[in-house]
Structure 1
Amino acid sequence: MVRTAALVGRGRLAPRDMMLLPALLPALRDLVLAQLPHYGERCIANTLHSAAALDMRDRELLARLMDAAAQRAAEMTPQGVANVAWALARLRAPPPPRLQAALLSASSAAMGAFSPQELADVGWAVVLLRLAPAPEWAAAWLAASQSRLPHANDVAAARLLWTAARLGVTPGEEWRERAWRAVEQRLPAASPHSVAMTLWAAQQLWGPAGGLDTEQRGALLQRVVDTLPAAHAADVTVVLHALAGPGGAPPNEAAAAALLSRAARLVPAMTMAQVTKLLWACARLRLAPGEGLLRRCASKLFYGLADVRAGDLAIGLWGLARLGWVPPAGWAGLLFSQVQAVAGDFKPREVVALLSALAELRMLPPAAVLGALLGEHRSAEQQLSAYGPRNLAMLALALARLSQLHAAVWAQRQQRTRSPPPPPQQQQPQQQQQQQQQQLQQQLQQQIDMESQQQQQQQQQQQQQQRPTPPPLAGAPRDLREDLLQASFHRLGAMSGRDLSTLVWALVELQMGPPPAWLYSCVAACDNQLAAMSAADVAMLVRALQRHNADARLTRVDEFLGRALERLGELEHQGGEYTAGRLQALLGMGRASDTHGSAGGAEPAGVVDRKLRQRHAVGPEGAVHANATTHHGPSSSGPAHQDSSNDSSRRQAAMRRGGSTRPRGRHRAQHNGVAAALNGSSIIGVSAEISLVLDEGAVLSSQSAPQDTHGSNGSGSSDSCSGPSSANCSSNGNPGPASVERLVGV
């Protein structure tokens, strides 16, 4: 078997012999099982390595070989330990506990005697098989790799960097310097796979220290472009994933064009995981893949839906949505069927990414799909109590967007049912005299019909006013409201300012009235984040809280609104004086019309006018000056309340006189967002793009496995370890250890 594996690995078997190989393997298996009791530790290691090289996955053979390896592991040489570890990782065969403990013990004892390639293979196997070594083992491996890096070739160096990035340890500055010198020396001769793996690992290892500098990233990217003609699908997707991940940066125009061109040619050879990662990376980097590449990826995803995993499906749909793809009509049935089939495999951030993508694609999920994703039959890991602060806020936002979509679809259906039938076509007269008579009759009939239609329209309008509005997101599980409020109540203190404003606004769109205790906790959390919030977030938060506290019955909420309005004024002053139009928008904030589906009312105009005038001195030219801001608490005495007609006249006079200068520079976009929020814009118009927040764990390993080479006995393989933003799925917020994008950001 060892000789056969060596011939196959070196490509020395003739095509005719390769065709006969499947018939030969069963005989080899029987021979090995018969002779296995007489094998020494070297024969056991080499046989297991050869079985992996020949891709022999016979259960009985592997079980017998692993039992023998566990018994003789202490007697194996460093090369034998590396061979066994590589074989198990190559076959993706988790070792039994006895063999796992024996491998970790034997490798720890031989750590100082491993060659660079053997050390890389052992580390790669430990990470890939998730053997969970002790911290002492990881520290010993990291110290040994530092001394082996100068002597490693390009493949071994890339695998050492990859293992260090995945092992859960943080290398020091000296380790990174030595690693970069080794990479730099071997970069001119690096293969496409090794340079792709090096780029991904360097992004992870140098991230905590500020990331790769421009020169280092440029050198790696240039080598990627030089080796693209020989790159495989896994190499291209790993490069794009590395550039789109934390610490990455979009490639230059020439490199982006070369990567996309190569990706377009390799789409037929890509796996489903690679296609979805390609879509995600293009959306994350804001690359335009072109109509042809986008259509091929969408087609491959559609025809492979039955085999796609839950996490890959979530990030693939998110990528298509962010790239502006419009799904054909035939997608909905098959897509929702697959989502329902794998609903139990979605992680929280993947559920958020999936629902956000469906809202972006304007695909309303049926009740059965929502029930499978958010219903009571979820596992413990899928309960809302297991969602993080960011995921809860983004889940509420995704549901709010789907609620708006449901309301729009419901309104269109109602409009179609109310539309009158088309008038019948008139036949042409045969004689002129009959034509005149018919014209007179038609005129009379038209008058009668017009009056009848007017009466029908009035009746329909009255009936429409009496009809109840559609429920927010019909088909959602009944206990979802209570679960969402309860889970978010315990996460309010850990949310950022953007998450808090997004959550509060989404609850308005979902017509969910939080109890006073929830609002008090939310206001306390918002107070802690108020100084760090942007103007758009504060404006969105103010308007949402006004609707939740329309009758000003909660004193703490009303007091916070005063502080938030003052903070909003300070942020506006930082960008220049108010224009007359912006002042009118602020003064009329309470009268802005509610979007469809929003519950509650706003504060009366006089209350808002009084609060604003207590905090801002209105100049004679209709401008508010920064040095005139004074805070008065709810019980403080301020200017007397004036009637709404005087307020309206004063604002109109200010508009006629003209306001101060318009906001300049970087504040202009911020002011536009505040104006939109204060004028009652929907959550989609106020908040920025929804992106996937997925870290490497949520994407279930988002990089490719290293090239499987092991000296003269090695057998290569290049497959991608499958990867939430997930997009934490992913914009705003604090990315996770390897998050790729936040869900809401500016």
Structure 2
Amino acid sequence: MMLAGEPLVPLLAAAAATGLRSFKPQELANVLWSMAALPITGQEVAAAFGAAAEAAAGSLKVQELANTAWAVAALKLEQPSLVDALCAAAWAKVEHFKPQGISNTLWALAAMRNLHLPLTAGLCAVAGLHIQEFNVQNVVNSIWAFAKLPAVAPRPLLEPLCAVARRTSGEFVPQHLANTLWSLATLRLQHPPLVAALHSFTLQRVEGFNSQNVTNTLWSLATLESCDPELQEALCYAVVDRVTSFNAQDLASGLWAVAALGIWRPDTVKGLCRASRGQLAEFTAVGISNTAWALAVLCSGEGWQTAYPTNKK
């Protein structure tokens, strides 16, 4: 990041906090969005702007509402009354939302695990009217949001979203590819044309995958019971290459996926086991359970049907 450490950033935040009372609704929204885009500002300043945005929520325009909701989620502000005010104001204007506002607001609700049913239903209805206008980021964020909030995932909307994702998948960067496969797997959503496209582009771009992308993709293939030997081999090479940078969740998920897919590659399995030994203290109960299951399956050679893991990423 070119401006990381730039002294102007904290000075600007301090100046903004000092003049907070003079900010108009649009200016409040802009500053909150900027704070989230520049993850440097202290939470105290962000919380003060959040309180001011709550009071001004009814005066915010559609894009300002979406941007502010996104910022609140990205900043992880614990201000329930602010979220309620933003949701109420957004619901009152939901028919005016455009693709970016729709996807940003859905992403924010999902990131905050906020099941605001009226707003979600309204956003889904409006999304259906604009679905062909969605760009790559819009469609990826929306599918991811529904995977995080499966209780409100509208199956009739998911089909056209997947069709748009398939059409635009050639533009997906590694994060988009991994997130979309993870979303489909989490939703247990079978969409063969999209999955085939994601496999193809993942194979082309796997060298650009980071550790989490690699293990999320392996987990997704296993969950979707998707057999693509060439892609599996490429991902196994990626595991060997990156395993020293895996965190505890990556390691547990990677071992579970390798076992569930029936992959026995000594370099991959031993690399995951070796790295896991140094991070066992960080494993969750689910991680320990899934790792034990994976080792039992890999040692027995009897296939994944011998036991039932906790299929949770």
Q: Structure 1 length normalisation: TM-score?
A: 0.39
Match of 1:194 in 2: 138
Name the CA shift for 1:204/1:341 in 2 (closer, same or farther; >3 Å).
closer
Q: Give 1:224's aligned amino acid.
A: A
Q: In 2, Cα distance between the equivalents of 1:97 and 1:89?
A: 10
Q: In 1, Cα distance between the equivalents of 2:249 and 2:147?
A: 23
Match of 1:316 in 2: 254
Match of 1:522 in 2: none
Q: 1:87 aligns with which of 21, 26, 34?
A: 34
Q: Is the 8 A contact 2:51 2:82 kept in 1?
A: no
Q: 2:151 aligns with which of 183, 189, 208?
A: 208
SS in 2 for 1:57: coil
Q: Give 2:291's aligned amino acid.
A: L
Counterparts in 2 of 1:557-706, with a 5 A limit? 689-693=307-311
2:112 corresponds to 1:167: yes
Shift of 1:102: 0.8
Counterparts in 2 of 1:390-539, with a 5 A limit? none
2:163 corresponds to 1:222: yes
Q: Which one scores higher on RCO, CA 8 angstroms, separation ≥ 6? A: 1
Q: Give 2:13's aligned amino acid.
A: M
2:233 corresponds to 1:299: no
Q: Any runs of at least 4 consecutive aligned residues in structure 1 with deviations exceeding 6 A, and if so which?
A: 684-687
Q: In 2, Cα distance between the equivalents of 1:237 and 1:308?
A: 16
Q: Is the 8 A contact 1:276 1:312 kept in 2?
A: yes
Match of 2:226 in 1: 287
Shift of 1:685: 9.5
Q: In 2, Cα distance between the equivalents of 1:131 and 1:242?
A: 25
Shift of 1:112: 1.7
Q: In 1, Cα distance between the equivalents of 2:121 and 2:70?
A: 21
Name the CA shift for 1:330/1:315 in 2 (closer, same or farther; >3 Å).
closer
Q: Give 1:314's aligned amino acid.
A: A
SS in 2 for 1:304: helix
Q: Is the 8 A contact 1:203 1:212 kept in 2?
A: no
- Point out where structure 1 has 5 or more consecutive residues left out of the alignment: 1-53, 363-404, 409-683, 694-724, 727-746
Q: In 2, Cα distance between the equivalents of 1:360 and 1:82?
A: 52
Q: In 2, Cα distance between the equivalents of 1:97 and 1:264?
A: 40
2:55 corresponds to 1:109: yes
Name the CA shift for 1:98/1:199 in 2 (closer, same or farther; >3 Å).
closer
Q: In 2, Cα distance between the equivalents of 1:140 and 1:188?
A: 30
Q: Is the 8 A contact 1:225 1:258 kept in 2?
A: yes
Shift of 1:341: 3.2
Name the CA shift for 1:76/1:348 in 2 (closer, same or farther; >3 Å).
farther
Match of 1:243 in 2: 184
SS in 1 for 2:73: helix
- Point out where structure 2 has 5 or more consecutive residues left out of the alignment: none
SS in 1 for 2:272: helix
Q: Give 1:153's aligned amino acid.
A: K
Shift of 1:361: 2.8
Q: Give 1:79's aligned amino acid.
A: Q
Q: In 2, Cα distance between the equivalents of 1:688 and 1:82?
A: 54
Shift of 1:71: 2.2
Counterparts in 2 of 1:19-168, with a 5 A limit? 55-58=2-5, 60-93=7-40, 95-134=41-80, 136-168=81-113
Shift of 1:258: 1.8
Name the CA shift for 1:350/1:190 in 2 (closer, same or farther; >3 Å).
same
Q: In 1, Cα distance between the equivalents of 2:238 and 2:2?
A: 27
Q: Is the 8 A contact 2:289 2:309 kept in 1?
A: no
Q: In 2, Cα distance between the equivalents of 1:356 and 1:317?
A: 9
Q: Which has the larger radius of gyration?
A: 1
Q: In 2, Cα distance between the equivalents of 1:275 and 1:686?
A: 21
Shift of 1:111: 1.0
Q: 1:234 aligns with which of 166, 171, 175?
A: 175
Match of 1:269 in 2: 208
Q: Structure 2 length normalisation: TM-score?
A: 0.88
Name the CA shift for 1:256/1:109 in 2 (closer, same or farther; >3 Å).
same
CA RMSD of aligned residues (A): 2.7
Q: In 1, Cα distance between the equivalents of 2:113 and 2:164?
A: 28
Q: Is the 8 A contact 1:327 1:361 kept in 2?
A: no
Q: In 1, Cα distance between the equivalents of 2:144 and 2:172?
A: 15
Shift of 1:276: 1.0
Q: Give 1:181's aligned amino acid.
A: A
Shift of 1:232: 1.9
Q: Is the 8 A contact 2:212 2:250 kept in 1?
A: yes
Q: In 2, Cα distance between the equivalents of 1:81 and 1:240?
A: 36
Q: Give 1:294's aligned amino acid.
A: Q
Q: In 2, Cα distance between the equivalents of 1:685 and 1:312?
A: 22
Shift of 1:281: 1.0
Q: 2:193 aligns with which of 239, 254, 268?
A: 254
Q: In 2, Cα distance between the equivalents of 1:249 and 1:305?
A: 27
Q: In 1, Cα distance between the equivalents of 2:115 and 2:304?
A: 39
Q: 1:352 aligns with which of 282, 285, 289?
A: 289
Q: In 2, Cα distance between the equivalents of 1:293 and 1:315?
A: 17
Deviations 1:431-458 (Å, cap 9, x if unpaired)? xxxxxxxxxxxxxxxxxxxxxxxxxxxx
Shift of 1:170: 2.1
Shift of 1:60: 4.2
Name the CA shift for 1:75/1:257 in 2 (closer, same or farther; >3 Å).
same
Q: Give 1:327's aligned amino acid.
A: R
Shift of 1:157: 0.9
Name the CA shift for 1:76/1:359 in 2 (closer, same or farther; >3 Å).
farther
Q: In 2, Cα distance between the equivalents of 1:690 and 1:197?
A: 31
Q: In 2, Cα distance between the equivalents of 1:127 and 1:145?
A: 15
Name the CA shift for 1:88/1:110 in 2 (closer, same or farther; >3 Å).
same
Name the CA shift for 1:264/1:286 in 2 (closer, same or farther; >3 Å).
same
Q: Is the 8 A contact 1:192 1:227 kept in 2?
A: yes
Q: In 2, Cα distance between the equivalents of 1:266 and 1:177?
A: 35
